[in-house]
Chain A
């Protein structure tokens, strides 16, 4: 349980830290797309008997870079680029699973999360990934903000837009690979998007949104785990439902603020 709490808090911190740039650029579906590619990685790991989380990270990064490259080539059709990678990931994963005989229990733990079975080795991977993601997002926040806010102006101002976009995609992939262990691949994008979506209804600045969404991510992860532990529920469900609850609460709060 202690390991689960640590992993949950780390993921709760890292996912919104990079998620905010994805929400800002309205690529919320990108998280799902990357998650689906990570599924192919998990399937490959289970088939080959290699660490599924490491392969999920590798596949997710490759998928993220593919999405970003496709997106920059065909400026207007980023949804098609996403769809290609999205379904390609699932189809590839199913194909790989069909090749071997993988137990459904094992597969389910990756689809729906298995934070209570986090091993010490997994925890090291999650910690390293979370620390890296948060550090890079923090150091490059000025540039990432400028690009997320206005890509064309950022390019004209001389920022290496393409490189930084790929970096964000890779960071998102890393966060997703790590998060998949906690809430599962099907819910993975929720941790990147929902905390940001919830707090931005109340915040006024980008800075406040960043910190508040990270705070909410941590609180929801730990809160969800505790609730799941005592009520004997799936932690992935309680964590995600808690962030949705937070979203509903902030919506109501911002509405009453407008009225009052």
Chain B
């Protein structure tokens, strides 16, 4: 995205953001609460319109972008956990809905991809459980699995490990490592880095809607991300 600004009503939340995710890169987007991280991601995905600037996906303006199968998006939390019950497998499979045509049906390759993803995030044994019965961390892994089931080239994660316990964070880090190894580009919004810290190649720090730092992750302790001087120091 180039020089992108976003307003909510009269309030500006993003100022002149320049950001580009490179192929095969693992970048994290850091910042305090309400610094505009989620807004940036949603603007990048065309979910929130930008007031000015240019947003492109794979070189194509987001409004005209067609190859959505190349992008996997993991939102902050499950939006509908308390609605009509659905099993883990059903939700993860729904990640592939756009890949089968409107009149199509799920085939063996869909089922294989779902089974593989469930193994990857360590949820295969609870695949027939209703999603609402899982812990917060497990639900977040369901969301990650749903995005991965579509086998995207770019994965965008909004605070994926916020409520994932430490052993599973380690598992998550391994998954990220494997995906980057396969050439998947990953942008992860995070409040804290946890187990993936060692994998981070690039950190972008947002501060009150502006990019305060963009580069290698120097001193990426969480306290620094919160520190008002962080942008200048880094």
Contacts and interface: CB of A to CB of B under 8 A. Distances in A.
A220 to B, nearest CB: 18
Contact of A206 (B69, B87, B102): B87
Nearest to B106: A142
Nearest to B67: A158
Contacts of B98: 143, 146, 154, 157-159
Interface stretch (B75-83, B173-181, B199-207): B75-83
A149 B68 contact: no
Contact of B97 (A25, A145, A152, A207): A145
B90 interface: yes
Contacts of B90: 145, 205-207
Interface residues of A, number: 31
Interface size class of B (residues with CB under 8 A): 35 or more
Contacts of A154: 97-98
Interface string B58-99: 000000001111010101001110011111001101110110
Contact of A203 (B85, B106, B146, B147): B85
A203 B84 CA distance: 9
A205 B128 CA distance: 8
B115 to A, nearest CB: 17
A148 B106 CA distance: 18
A155 B47 contact: yes
B84 A139 contact: no
Nearest to A20: B84
Nearest to A143: B97
B50 interface: no
B192 interface: no
Contacts of A149: 79-80, 83, 86, 91, 94
A153 interface: yes
B100 A142 contact: yes
A156 B85 contact: no
A159 to B, nearest CB: 5
26 contacts: A24-B83, A25-B80, A25-B83, A26-B83, A139-B103, A142-B100, A143-B102, A146-B94, A146-B98, A148-B80, A148-B84, A149-B91, A150-B79, A153-B146, A154-B98, A155-B46, A156-B47, A157-B95, A157-B150, A158-B67, A203-B85, A204-B129, A204-B130, A205-B130, A206-B90, A209-B85
Given A23-B84, A146-B97, A149-B91, 9 more contacts: A25-B83, A145-B86, A149-B80, A149-B83, A150-B94, A153-B75, A157-B98, A200-B84, A204-B129
Interface of A: 20, 23-26, 139-140, 142-143, 145-146, 148-159, 196, 200, 203-207, 209
Interface of B: 42, 45-47, 66-69, 71, 73, 75, 78-80, 83-87, 90-91, 93-95, 97-98, 100, 102-103, 105-106, 128-130, 146-147, 150
